[in-house]
Every structure is written in C-alpha cells, then in structure tokens.
Chains A and B, each alone.
Chain A
Amino acid sequence: MTPQSHLQPDNPLLHQLKNHLSIVVGFCDLLLGDLPQDDPKRVDIQEMRKAGQAALDLLPDLSARMR
C-alpha cells in the first residue's frame, strides 16, 4: 500500500478537502511567481501557503483515523 492509497475514492470528503487546499496552495504559488522578490506582501502569502500545505500534510493522518 502506498501512503496515498489512504486517499482512495472511498473517502470523498477528504478528496474534496484536498482539492480545495490544492487551489489555496496553487494560487499562493501563482502570486509568489508574479510578485517581485522585494514585495512586502510575499511574507503574508508565504504564511498562507505554509498553512495550506500544513493542512494538506495532515490529510493522510486524518484518513487513517477515519477508518
């Protein structure tokens, strides 16, 4: 069993959660790509991204506990 297989379609809620978080992280990446290196907003966006990624990292655990 690969680690990801916890997130097989038997867990549609987690699947949706992951999709939404992916969009959060994705838009952060887009903004970070657009903004110049010295833009003060970068720090805030990086915080948002960090939080989104942290939530994503929780998903495998969550999946295991929901079984």
Chain B
Amino acid sequence: MPDTAPLLLVVDDEPGMLTLVQRFAEAEGFDVITRPGGYALLKELPELNPDAALLDRNMPEVGGLELLKAISEADPGCQVILMTADATVDSAIEAVKLGALDYLSKPLDFNRLREILGGVRYSIARRQRLLAADTELATRFEFCGMVGRSPVMQELFDLIRRLAPHARTSLVTGETGTGKELVARALHKLGPRKDRRFIAFNCSTLVETLAESELFGHVRGAFTGAVEAKAGLFEQADGGTLFLDEIGELPPPVQAKLLRVIEYGEVQRVGATDGRKVDVRVIAATNRRLPEEVAAGRFRQDLYYRLNVVEIQLAALHERRDDIPYLTAAFVQEFAARFQKRVNALSPGAERLLHNAPWTGNIRELRNVIERACILSDGRILSEREVLAALGGGARLAAPSAAAELAPLESNDVMPEPDRGMIEQALQQVGGNRSAAARRLGISRRALYRRLDTFGLR
C-alpha cells in the first residue's frame, strides 16, 4: 500500500547531505521531503506533518535544537533524530532531554540509521495495526449501532435480544449520551414490529398543552388554532413503536393520560368524547432517577410502575473505559471517511487522554471529540495535540495539582487583553510552551507572539 509509507522530513543546510539521506531513506521505504532549514521552514512546519524528522544540529537562522522544539510543539507524535558533525556527550544529552529519539554523528553510520528508521517505521505501522485491530473488533462487537466488548455491554445486548420479541413497554435509563435511543431502536428492529414505524419524541421539547395534542392528537376546534383534526403520535405509530425520550419531563396531567393509553390501548384526541384503539409499543427513556421523582411528587407512581416492568439501565462511559479504544476506532473510521482524512492511527498520548477523560457527556461526547479531532487532523496519526484541542483546552494535560492552580484563569467570559504579568505567569505555568500559554490566555498564538514582541519578552 503506497499510502502507508511513512513521511520523513530531512533538514540540512548542506544540499549534498539532503540528497544522500533522501536516497538512503527512500530505499528504506520512506516518503522523503527535504528542506534547507531556516525561518521559512518554521512557518511551513504545520502543513508538512511528517511522521519523523532528521535534523542537522548546526544550521544558520534556525538551529536543529530549536527546530526540534518547534516540531514537538506542533506534533508531539513526530519522532525526531538529530545529526551533527560535532557530537559531544553534552549536546547529545541536551537533544535527548528535548525529546530527540536519537543523536547521530557525521559521517552517518548507515547501519545505525537503518536501525533507527526501521524502529520508526515499526512503531508507526504498529499504531496503524492497533487502530485497524480495534476497528475490526468494534465491527465484531457492534450491535445495532452500539459498540461494546465489556461485560456490561455484552449483557445489555443479550438482554435486548431476549426482550425485543416480547416487551410491550420498557423503560431505558442512563446518563445523557449513553445511547438510550439506540437501545430503543434496537428493541424495535429486533422485535416483531420491525417493518412498522418507529417514532421518537422528546417530551421536554413542548409545553404541556402542545405535548398533549402532539401525543394524542386533537379534533377540529378543540382549541384556538385547531382548524384541522390531527392524529397524535400514538395513532401515527399504530402497529409500531413510540419512543418517549426524557419521560421525566412530562407534565403530570399528560402522565395520567399516557398511563391510560398504555393500560387500555386507547387514545382520546383532545376535545374528543370517544377513544380510538391503538396498538403501540412504548419505550420510555430518562436520565433522571424516577424513584426520586416519584418521592418528590413530580412523577406519577402508577405510571412509573407501569413503565419499569422492564427496565434497561445503561452504564456510563467512565464505568466501561475498556470500550473506549473500540468506540474511538469506530468513530475515527467514520469521521476519517466523512471528512476524507488520512487518519488511521492514534498516538499513545492521544490514547491516554481519551482513556482518562471524565466523559460526563458519555459516548456522545466521545463521538463529538473524535469528530472535532478528525477535522483538526492533517496527518496519519491523531496526536494528543488534536485530541487535547478537541477536548477543549489544556487543563487536562496538566497534572491534577497544576490543573487546579490554573483553574482561575479558565473562564468562558471574554478575557481582558493580557498584560505583561499575565503573560509571564501563563508562560511560567505551562513551562514556557507558547501554544499552551496562548490557549491559557484565550488568545491566538500569533497574538501572543505580538504581545511578546511588545513587552520585549522574546
């Protein structure tokens, strides 16, 4: 597969060296781009997205170490190797401290370079294989649009399979973003009504009077504006399934009517005197704790008992972190295809971030984060930089204590123009990383550089 050849950036102010390394690296199966270095390269860097870089240490304008810093800032996943004519122990230590993978002296030992490039290629291929394997597993553990290999999910799928043919009413509970509607659709799809309609209705979207006519319909002249008779959702879903999301938000009078429909299979349009028979499977869902709502008098106890004959509880994503790699793989594949991106792997740092995020918005949040990260990504490997940006801010990267310290600076309000003290403080808090400092201050990196110039801090 020609597209899987990793990309090596070679930078040296000596043209002969560029040709030499290019010839060698291409023979080793790399796509190679060569640059003579300088400020122009710094500007171009974000578009190049190399998988690895081989940099000369001593160059005019921009030295190899400075370039190394710029590359690791732009893409921490890029593996950087330095080469130099004057290799000393001290300079090697400095380079490795800055994150260099290796340090080669000139004339280049081609056997050593071959080993290093082989290692780079292997690690890239390994990341790609990992994601490919996770994608494959995700497909294998997919169930009606839900992905889950963890025991709780396997039990859930099993439960759905067993309930789908029989259950007339069911209650699906779980935090927001856990996939309650997917469960409802699965119950419909696997049941005897799969060829009939599935109608979803969010109970929190309408005011009381409208909710009533929406669900049960109305007769002509039932209220001001009711010029035509209208069938409610129950009649429209006759023979099929009606999914009532956020049932906890339903006003109590409507709850009473709903109970009647479920109990007797009969709807009464608003303003009508007689009822109509309907045969509808009702699946209700809520992220509230209904027993508490019942105790507080906000939810009818009889309706609750009628609904929870069959209750399906969905686990929060943080309770099944083992599934995150498979969900991630499935979403990466989905969005890479949709946005026509080359992304086919994740950096270890990105994986760690995704695994450890709190995921209060559960799978919906994970899906949104992957979508944003895929939009931001230009390379083959989704890096922690993109995931971090998609997660929204740098706080999660910092150690917990540091994050707490940084918290006061975080705010949704528009920040005042940062003064010298704020910039110095922000730079100090993020260890001198200018991109992170800019994020912290809520200004662009370009704006930060302008300010640094103004204050003479560069």
A: which residues have CB within 8 A of B?
2, 4-5, 7-9, 15, 18-23, 25-27, 29-30, 33, 53, 56
Contact = CB atoms under 8 A, between A and B. Distances in A.
B61 to A, nearest CB: 15
B85 A5 contact: no
Given A23-B17, A33-B27, A53-B107, 5 more contacts: A7-B85, A21-B107, A22-B107, A22-B108, A23-B16
**Which has the most chain B C-beta neighbours within 10 Å: A25, A26, A56?**
A26
A51 to B, nearest CB: 13
Contacts of B457: none
A21 B14 CA distance: 12
A15 B16 contact: no
Contacts of A29: 107-108, 110
Closest 3 CB pairs of A and B: A22-B107, A23-B16, A22-B106
A26 to B, nearest CB: 4
B24 interface: yes
Nearest to B108: A26
Given A9-B58, A15-B58, A27 B87 contact: no
B14 A19 contact: yes
Given A22-B106, A22-B107, A30 B20 contact: yes
Contacts of B20: 23, 26-27, 30
Contacts of A18: 85-86, 106
B110 A19 contact: no
A4 B58 contact: no
Given A9-B58, A15-B58, A18-B106, A23 B14 contact: yes
Contacts of B87: 4
Interface string B182-199: 000000000000000000
A9 B24 CA distance: 28
B23 interface: yes
A25 B16 CA distance: 11
Chain A CB within 10 Å — which of B23, B24, B86, B87 has the most? B86
Given A9-B58, A25-B107, A15 B23 contact: no
A5 B110 CA distance: 23
Which has the most chain B C-beta neighbours within 10 Å: A4, A20, A21? A4
B23 A20 contact: no
A26 B106 CA distance: 9
B89 interface: yes
A19 B108 CA distance: 10
Q: Which one of A7, A23, A29, A53 has the greatest number of beta carbons of chain B within 10 Å?
A: A23
A40 to B, nearest CB: 22
Nearest to A25: B107
Interface in B147-176: none
B88 interface: yes
Contacts of A30: 20, 23-24, 110
